[in-house]
Amino acid sequence: MKTVSLSRRLFIAGNYAFLIALSVSCLFPLVHVLAISFSSSAAASAGKVVLWPVDFTLASYEFILQNDAFIRAFGVTLQRVALGFSLNLALTLLCAYPLSREQKHFRYRTAYAWYFVITILFGGGLIPWYLTVKETGLLDSVWALVIPGAVPVFNVILMLNFIRGLPAEISESAFMDGAGHWTVLWRIVVPLSMPVIATVSLFTLVGHWNAWFDGLILMNFPERYPLSTYLQLMVISSSTLNFSGVSLREVAEISQRTTRAAQIFLGALPILLVYPFLQRFFVKGIVLGSVKA
Amino acid sequence: MLLPGVALVFVYSYIPMAGIVIAFQKFVPVKGVAGSDWVGLGNFDYVLNMPNIDQVLWNTVYIAGMKIVAGLVVPIGIAILLNEVRNVLIKRGVQTLIYLPHFLSWIILGGILIDILSPSQGIVNRLLAALGMESVFFLGSNDWFPYVLVASDVWKEFGFSTIVYLAAITSINPTLYEAAIMDGAGHVRQARHVTLPGMLPVIVLLATLSLGNVLNAGFEQVFNLYSASVYESGDILDTLIYRLGLLDAQFGVATAVGLFKSLVSLVLISVSYLLAYRLANYRIF
Amino acid sequence: MKLSKKMLTSALTGCLLLQAACSSGSNVQTQSQTPAAAETGSGGQQREGTPAAAGGPLDPYDPPIEVTAVRSVPASLKFENGDTIQDNAWTKLYENELGIKLKYLWVVDNSQYEQKLNVMMTSGELPDIMPVPGVKMKQLYDAGQLEDLSELLKQYGSEHTKDFMYRDGGAAIDSATFKGELVGLPLNPGATDTAPLLWIREDWRTKLGLPEPKTMDDVVAIAEAFVKQDPDGNQRNDTAGLGLDKELFGGLGGLHGFFNGFHSYPGIWIEDAEGELVYGSIQPETKTALAKLQEMYKAGLIDREFAVKNAEQIIQDFNSGKLGMYYGQHYTPILLQDGKNNMPELELKPYRLPSVDAQPAKPQTSFNIPEYYVVRKGAKNPEAAIKLLNAYLEPRSREEYPVEEYSNNGDVEKWQYALLKGSNPTQNLDGYANVKKAMELNDRSILDETTPDPYVFDTLTSYYNGDVAGWGYTMVFGEGGAQSILYDYNENKGYRPTAFNSAPTSAMSEKQSTLSKLELETFTKIIMGEAGIDAFDEFAVNWNKLGGDVMTAEAAAWKASK
């Protein structure tokens, strides 16, 4: 039995303390926003709310959730996330796997890799992108939110890196047993790559959930906006920065710090709920058993 | 297998790239790409002749550079520390919580930071006062502003990279650890000789790709936090371009700047790739 | 790691550059009348086989025509009963009464409208009718894409339309006319609302026994008292003097009013002694005002942290009882309603601008036309736009066209559904006068139901009866409120309007932001004492060097062409 040294114990204690303090600091702003969303407008705009609601009220949530537009936008987002996620993941795997093969097995792999990487670096800007989407007929449909971004190059590169790190013997033996690439991909690579698949899934989900700009430009009518676009517009348009001072009624809308807070929180909520669930996949030692075999 | 990916990328990334030609035009939306005048390198000239461009470029590189470094070191460190945590609940809890700041936009965080760092009422300065030190006008002083930018940005985004590094760590073959322990390695040694090398491919990859951001010092953040009193140290390329009134006359200039940034990134990434290949026979991607 | 960062840059730009179109005035009158169509007189011609004949100002097209358009809507616009922007009482009216089927190509939030316009313009497709800001109108005109509406307005404009268009003496129409061609129909909410006033917390002022501010010295004295004499009585030195935010020239906590007190007019063009157009920010009076501000900052009379505070922080300061004096536009109390809710003893009062000498200070007003309705060149029925405007401005019987359907139903603002809106440049001033009269007579019925006047009347009444929620509006429209002062100025020609009454020229749109940055940075540094007052002279020189001289030349050319 090993005894645990004092320095080790101090380290562990200090580590826990540090990490917990760090997490709390990360939690603080979200709690602050949450508290504002449950407070009265008067208290919020006077800056009285810190971590706990003042004059507890559900008014801002009622206001948002009653709104048809919110529900509709939520539906659009669900659609795009479902479609986008599946497509992204499939394509990520399909691209990462071949690129992870060694140069000797796949001669042009480096060329292809660079082909993809260049697209992260260079772009023609907003207008050509918009025109392309328009010419391919995707404008104003949910597919406009799904197809143009279908290949998440960063995720592909990340994944190819991981796959490369897997022990070669496993796939070698599979090939020798007569398995084709598809079988190797599906039966061997995927199960062994759960941590990176979980990571990439998370990024994709978050990316699709939060992407608001494409919805704004590519959709012609507010009824088709995804949730993030809808929320973003609420936040921006109710910011004092944007005010033109012409309609007095609009002015009254601006003081709605609490509504803004509720919107922010509602926007982030689903992802926050999904994330811990995905953490199951960050599990050690999957590689172990298969190597021994 | 690669075909669908290649095709999609071609259509949606390469074809729009043709629009880079706007960088060489005095682009007016109504005239379209075909109708706008050609100015060759005129847009680049324009940018390079803007008042304070040197200062702005320096700020951009300095701030972005610090962010790249901190953005590497901090998540790696946290990932290793987190790996040492045995308690599953705490580990998962911390993992979840550190990702949270990523979801908040700078519009919100900006407001919070202004409150926290306020010289008269902010928590940080009150702490300093309690410790007997003078209060510091963090957001209004050119000496402090860049560091505030870096620190707050790292705090916001480190969760993202930490996840990637954690995934890398969990993929490390446990037998390597067992071997190290049998050789008598303590925890620190293990971290140095097993964990870090195991993460090396990912570290190198993320480092290389983040080099591509050397001219992206973070528009949204700077925009929400800066003010006239810190233009000198805080104005970056993107905020300068933004103030040019992008929409009306300056699409060409904006594209030109974008092109410039892309070229710089390309050079940096290619150099790293080649270095890794030549020196260590390792292809980063 | 998508390329969205770049797009974000463009998007955020869009957010800040747009102004919301607005203002009511749909002019549906309360007395019963026969439906408008019968009033127009000239008969329409109806023939099969030829393109739909236009007929008179309000005659329907037969057969009906289709007209494409795009527009922006404020994110807060409400709908009810299944209405959408494409299908509501106004679109039905257009179709049923004018034979115009309105088809929107797209609709977007105000903050992204210009962005979307740009993208659309590049793709070369323009709809028949578009509301556009002045700069875009000029761009489109320069590219030969706009229909000349001058003859059409004469021929098809109804009497009411022509009346509204010229109510301000023709300045708005003028700003849309180039070389004799009228290329856009302006929406003119009037410039008086852009004037700054001085706002002071009366409860603090009276508590400390300070006189009403008439001179700039008074202003300084009040600021000093607010800072040093603990007006909120909490034994702490936490109250500020003059409120100021980092933009220096915002609508709440901006400095226009202060500068105006020194007869300086930053940000607008004024005529100098020779009648030439010069830019207000570089004039010597501005320097004098800056020197005073520098003094005040040094003495702690201006918030030490103003340089990092935005408007929202100023609101927070006020609502938490730390701020008692600021310069701002007429609507600002509505933003501060929470302050009143928090502190019922709070009293806020607007004042005429104090002056530094015997000459009264003139509040400055800017060019304030948020949009023009333009028609694409080559549109099949360009006069359709004029008819749509006629439809909006035409007085209608209340029975046939209930207010709840076409104007306002509570806070569902249905007048916004109309594509082409007219506006009364003196909307708020008239509103103030009308409501005042109604309150004196205690007779709500004299007010026009289609304007916000009844709503204002009700709100003021409720406030005087003790409901605090009406405080904001009362500060604007009530006795001694902002509009009363603005009304006064208007009657006595007390404003200093900008002498450059048009959308920005091309040099202006290119150079303005660099120059504004220079101005902001220089002024901020001077006020904070980080630069000496003589930095102003250097600024004036640089301003010209960096493009100001080109702007001045273009302004002069504009003036000469009038």
- Token pair for B226: 């800066």
- Token pair for C120: 């659309």
For residue C393, what is the domain's CATH number?
3.40.190.10
Residue B195 inside a domain? The answer is: yes
A21 with A74, same domain: the answer is no
A252 with A147, same domain: the answer is yes
C86 with C159, same domain: the answer is yes
C125: region left, alpha or beta (phi > 0 left; psi from -120 to 50 alpha): beta
Label residue C288 by pLDDT band (50, 70, 90): very high
C490 with C510, same domain: the answer is no
C95 with C148, same domain: the answer is yes
Residue B138 inside a domain? The answer is: yes
A49 with A130, same domain: the answer is no
Return the number of other C-beta atoms located less than 10 Å from residue C397's C-beta. Answer: 16
DSSP letter assigned to residue C373: E
Shortest CA gap A41–chain B (Å):
17
> What pLDDT is stored for residue C21 in this prediction?
23
**Taking the alpha carbons of A202, A205, A208, A211 in that order, is the dihedral positive or negative?**
negative
A44 with A123, same domain: the answer is no
Cross-chain Cβ contact B112/A26 below 8 Å: no
* Vertex C312: Cα angle to B123 and B67 (nearest 5): 55
A23 with A129, same domain: the answer is no
C391 with C344, same domain: the answer is no
> What pLDDT is stored for residue A251 in this prediction?
58
Cross-chain Cβ contact A95/B5 below 8 Å: yes
Contacting residues of C for B32, CB less than 8 Å apart: 121-124
Residue B23 inside a domain? The answer is: no
Residue B19 inside a domain? The answer is: no
A49 with A176, same domain: the answer is no
Q: Taking each helix axis from N to C terminus, what angle separates A153-165 and A68-100, rounded to the nearest 10 degrees?
A: 40
> What pLDDT is stored for residue C466 in this prediction?
86
Suggest the residue from A114, A122, A238, A283 to mutate for an interface test with chain B (most B CBs closer than 10 A). Answer: A122
Domain count along chain C: 3
Write down which residue in A40, A57, A74 finishes a domain. Answer: A57
- Token pair for C446: 């004299």
Of C10, C143, C524, the CB nearest to B229: C524
Does C409 have pLDDT greater than 80?
no
Contacting residues of B for C12, CB less than 8 Å apart: 219-220, 223, 242
C352 with C391, same domain: the answer is no
Can you tell me the distance from the alpha carbon of C171 to that of C189, in angstroms, rounded to the nearest whole number?
A: 12
In the chain, the amino acid numbered C391 is: A
Cross-chain Cβ contact A240/C311 below 8 Å: yes
Neighbour-count burial of C459, counting CB atoms closer than 10 A to its CB (0-12 exposed, 13-18 middle, 19+ buried): buried
Domain count along chain B: 1
Can you tell me the distance from the alpha carbon of A90 to that of B240, in angstroms, rounded to the nearest whole number?
A: 40
Q: Give the ipTM of the model, two decimals please.
A: 0.75
C236 with C337, same domain: the answer is yes
Of B32, B51, B228, the CB nearest to C122: B32
For residue A217, what is the domain's CATH number?
1.10.3720.10
Containing structural domain, residue C282: 196-362+504-560
Cross-chain Cβ contact C252/A211 below 8 Å: no
> What pLDDT is stored for residue C200 in this prediction?
94
Does C5 contact chain A (CB < 8 Å)? no
DSSP string, C88-103: SHHHHHHHHHH-EEEE
Residue B280 inside a domain? The answer is: no
Cross-chain Cβ contact A153/C1 below 8 Å: yes
Span C543-553, average pLDDT: 89
A81 with A189, same domain: the answer is yes
**Taking the alpha carbons of C113, C118, C123, C127 in that order, is the dihedral positive or negative?**
positive
Residues of B with CB under 8 A from a CB of C: 28-33, 35, 50-51, 111, 114, 118-120, 137, 139-140, 209, 216, 219-220, 223, 225, 227-229, 231, 238, 241-251, 254, 258
For residue B214, what is the domain's CATH number?
1.10.3720.10
Residue C12 inside a domain? The answer is: no
Domain count along chain A: 2
Containing structural domain, residue A26: 1-57
Residue B2 inside a domain? The answer is: no
Residue B121 inside a domain? The answer is: yes
Can you tell me the distance from the alpha carbon of C132 to that of C474, in angstroms, rounded to the nearest whole number?
A: 34
Indicate the pTM of the whole model: 0.77
Can you tell me the distance from the alpha carbon of C309 to that of C327, in angstroms, rounded to the nearest whole number?
A: 16
Q: Answer yes or no: are the C-beta atoms of C511 and C496 closer than 8 Å.
A: no
Residue C3 inside a domain? The answer is: no
C177 with C66, same domain: the answer is yes
User: Which residue has better confidence, C176 or B31?
Assistant: C176
> What pLDDT is stored for residue B150 in this prediction?
92
Bridging pattern class, strands C100-109 and C65-73? parallel
Shortest CA gap B247–chain A (Å):
11
- Token pair for B124: 């940080």
Chain C residue with minimal CA distance to A217?
Answer: C116
Residue C54 inside a domain? The answer is: yes
- Token pair for C1: 């790691």
Does C17 contact chain B (CB < 8 Å)? yes
Does A85 contact chain C (CB < 8 Å)? no
> What pLDDT is stored for residue A239 in this prediction?
55
DSSP string, C356-369: SSSSPP--EE----
The three-state (H, E, C) secondary structure of C109-137, written as one string: EHHHHHHHHHHHHHCCCCCCEEEECHHHH
Residue C72's nearest CA partner among A220, A234, A214 is A220
Beta-strand ranges (E) seen in chain B are 25-26, 37-38
C140 with C71, same domain: the answer is yes
Of B51, B220, B245, the CB nearest to C546: B51
Over the range C409-440, which residues count as b (16 or more CB within 10 Å of their CB) and which as e? eeebbbbbbbbbbbbbbbbbbbbbbbbbebbe
C57 with C182, same domain: the answer is yes
A6 with A124, same domain: the answer is no
Containing structural domain, residue B247: 51-253
Residue B98's nearest CA partner among A234, C386, A21 is A21
Write down which residue in A57, A75, A102 finishes a domain. Answer: A57
Give the pLDDT of chain A (293 residues) as one tens digit per residue. 456 678 888 888 888 889 888 888 888 888 888 888 888 777 777 777 778 888 888 877 877 777 777 888 888 999 999 999 999 988 888 888 888 877 667 777 788 888 888 888 887 777 788 888 888 888 888 888 888 888 888 888 888 888 887 777 887 888 888 877 777 778 888 888 887 888 888 888 888 888 888 888 888 888 888 888 887 777 665 554 444 444 565 555 555 677 777 877 877 787 777 777 776 665 443 333 333 33
Residues whose CB is less than 8 angstroms from the CB of residue C113 and which lie 6 or more positions away in sequence, other chains included: C14, C18, C71, C72
DSSP string, C509-521: HHHHHHHHHHHHH
Label residue C356 by pLDDT band (50, 70, 90): very high
- Ranked by mean pLDDT, which of A216-230, B232-246, B264-278, C477-491 comes out on top? C477-491
- Whether omega for the bond prior to residue A98 falls within 30 degrees of 0, making it cis, is no
Residue B108 inside a domain? The answer is: yes
Cα distances from B16 to residues A143, B9, C125, in angstroms, run 18, 10, 19
Can you tell me the distance from the alpha carbon of A269 to that of A284, in angstroms, rounded to the nearest whole number?
A: 28
C215 with C328, same domain: the answer is yes
